[in-house]
Amino acid sequence: MAGTIYGATVYYDADCNLDALKGKKITVLGYGSQGHAHALNLKESGMDVTVGLRDGSKSWQVAEKDGLPVKTTAEAVKGADVVMVLIPDELQAETYEKDIAPNLKKGAYLGFAHGFNVHYKKIVPPADANVFMVAPKGPGHLVRRTFQEGSGVPSLYAVEKDPSGDTKELALAWAAGIGAGRAGILGTTFREETETDLFGEQAVLCGGICELMQAGFETLTKAGYHPVNAYFECVHEMKLIVDLIYEGGFHTMRSSISNTAEYGDYATGTKLITAETRKEMEQVLADIQSGAFADEFLADYKDGFKKLYARREKAANHESEKVGAELRGLMSWIKK
Ligand SMILES: NC(=O)C1=CN([C@@H]2O[C@H](COP(=O)(O)OP(=O)(O)OC[C@H]3O[C@@H](n4cnc5c(N)ncnc54)[C@H](OP(=O)(O)O)[C@@H]3O)[C@@H](O)[C@H]2O)C=CC1
Ligand SMILES: CC(=O)[C@](C)(O)C(=O)O
Ligand SMILES: [Mg+2]
Ligand SMILES: [Mg+2]
């Protein structure tokens, strides 16, 4: 049953009614990280799922091989009761105008896994549409893997428009259908999910941690230590440390490491994450809240993703990637 944690209601499978989705014609647009997970998990939860992809999509054969019916985006939207938009954020607005809006049936449910386009008003759905979000707090491939393993990824849900009066029930059914009801489902708003998700991925989960790990690797290799040692210390071991935090909080991790490491943890952490760093984090959040980040991201997309592709290329050539690839080749237990 629903739990109350820090005053927030967290829903679990027992609070969700899959019948809210059963018998509905569901379309999942996109078959990438999130799309394949939602489509397959919902299919295995007994739902009628069709995948919508653009012509010539490299994901088309993959989805068909996985046993899912595939149509073009526009065709897949036609007649669907529920349309979940799991295509890249930068492509959603143009796809909405071209293929979704003209074909979305009156009173349909329109879903997202991230609030970006609705929150920043790049997509403004019609008054008769029921607009919801189910946002897994984890990568799509883990949404799929944990579902298959019998667990799930915690998710947020939000309802932006609800003319039918039952959109929350449908959103909870969607979350349960992808496995989130096993881990916890928290209610939020499109604004809050958008701002917290963008902040988390930039300042902590992706931007912050990757820069920290690579700066550590570079500090050691620049000082003449072997790159393999630097990789083991600053990259490979991160999972082992974070796994303990995941399983039991910082206390559990700190009770497993040595007193030496724990002393160094407290003594040095605040030398690196300083008052300056915290001020910078506040600026990152301000740029997200103002829409400045969203505009910068979409401007780069319109400019052919020049900045994104240049940074992707630079990152791929980082020495730690080369060392890691060789080492992982010798670690048979790592899932490829
Ligand atoms: N990645 C993640 O783990 C998370 C993502 N999200 C959100 O989920 C959404 C999807 O992101 P993500 O799964 O990473 O995306 P991916 O880039 O992994 O996959 C995008 C998919 O969309 C397809 N696609 C592209 N254009 C169209 C179109 N016009 N019509 C139909 N399909 C299309 C692509 O196929 P092809 O290129 O072959 O045409 C591909 O299958 C985003 O809103 C994102 O913010 C939320 C939480 C976590
Ligand atoms: C995986 C996830 O939650 C992210 C980092 O927000 C994303 O991929 O957008
Ligand atoms: Mg996220
Ligand atoms: Mg995100």
- The ipTM estimated for the assembled molecules is 0.99
Q: pTM of the predicted model, to two decimals?
A: 0.97
pLDDT at 336: 72
Cα distance between residue 208 and residue 212, in whole Å: 6
| Structural domains of the chain sorted by starting position, each given as residue range(s) with its CATH number in brackets | 3-187 (3.40.50.720), 197-330 (1.10.1040.10)
Is 163 within 8 Å of 107 (Cβ atoms)?
Answer: yes
- Kindly report the protein residue whose alpha carbon is nearest to atom 3 of ligand 2: 138
Cα distance between residue 140 and residue 192, in whole Å: 20
Ligand nearest to the CA of 206: 2
pLDDT at 120: 98
Cα distance between residue 35 and residue 63, in whole Å: 10
Ligand nearest to the CA of 33: 1
Q: Which two tokens stand for residue 331?
A: 């670690």
- Among residues 192, 189, 173, the alpha carbon closest in space to that of 181 is found at 173
- Among residues 120, 48, 12, 34, the alpha carbon closest in space to that of 85 is found at 34
**Which residue's structure tokens are 């979409």?**
298
Task: Determine which helix (DSSP H) or strand (DSSP E) holds 71, and give its type and residue range.
Answer: strand 70-72
- Kindly report the protein residue whose alpha carbon is nearest to atom 5 of ligand 2: 201
Ligand 1 center to residue 249 CA distance, Å? 32
Q: Which residues of the chain are modeled with pLDDT < 50?
A: none
Ligand 1 center to residue 193 CA distance, Å? 17
Q: Is 197 in the pocket of ligand 2 (CB under 6 A)?
A: yes
pLDDT at 169: 98
Residues known to be catalytic: 114
Cα distance between residue 116 and residue 258, in whole Å: 43
Ligand 3 center to residue 144 CA distance, Å? 15
- Among residues 76, 51, 83, 85, the alpha carbon closest in space to that of 66 is found at 51
Tell me the pairing of strands 155-161 and 130-136. Answer: antiparallel
How many residues are listed for the chain in this entry? 336
pLDDT at 111: 98
Provide the H-helix boundaries in 149-305: 167-177, 190-199, 207-222, 227-231, 237-256, 259-272, 275-290, 292-302
**Which residue's structure tokens are 């160094």?**
264
pLDDT at 335: 78
- Kindly report the protein residue whose alpha carbon is nearest to atom 33 of ligand 1: 30
Q: Is 96 in the pocket of ligand 1 (CB under 6 A)?
A: no
Q: Tell whether the torsion through CA atoms of 149, 152, 153 and 159 is positive or negative.
A: positive
Angle of helix 167-177 versus helix 33-44 axis, rounded to 10: 90
Angle of helix 275-290 versus helix 292-302 axis, rounded to 10: 70
Q: Is 59 in the pocket of ligand 1 (CB under 6 A)?
A: yes
pLDDT at 93: 98
Is 61 within 8 Å of 54 (Cβ atoms)?
Answer: no
